[in-house]
Amino acid sequence: MKQESTTDFPKLAVPAQRALANTGIKNLRQLAKFTEAEIKQLHGIGPNALVALKAALKAKGMSFAKK
């Protein structure tokens, strides 16, 4: 039986998934507490991951934190 995913993240490359997990970010609500600049600095978060995360936040009516 397939295990349910507990995250609401879009499909991300493994390094990006690992970067978020290592920071303790497990879902979009937690991600929204960080600024885009903070997430961009994480090792493993590239331009494609940033675009996907921004789109996922926007789809849920959320955005990155303001400075």
Contact (CB, 8 A) for 10 and 55: yes
pLDDT digits (tens, 9 = 90+) for 17-47: 999 999 999 999 999 999 999 999 999 999 9
Q: How does residue 67 score in pLDDT terms, banded at 50, 70 and 90?
A: confident
Residue span of the structural domain in which 48 resides: 14-59
Task: Give the total number of structural domains in the chain.
Answer: 1
Residue with tokens 């997990």: 21
Cβ neighbors of 47 (< 8 A, separation 6 or more) are: none
- Tell me the C-alpha distance between 55 and 2, whole Å: 26
pTM of the full predicted structure?
0.85
In a domain, 65, yes or no: no
Question: Quick check: is 9 in a domain?
Answer: no
Residue 22 lies in a domain: yes
Q: Residue 39 falls within a domain, yes or no? A: yes
pLDDT of res. 3:
42
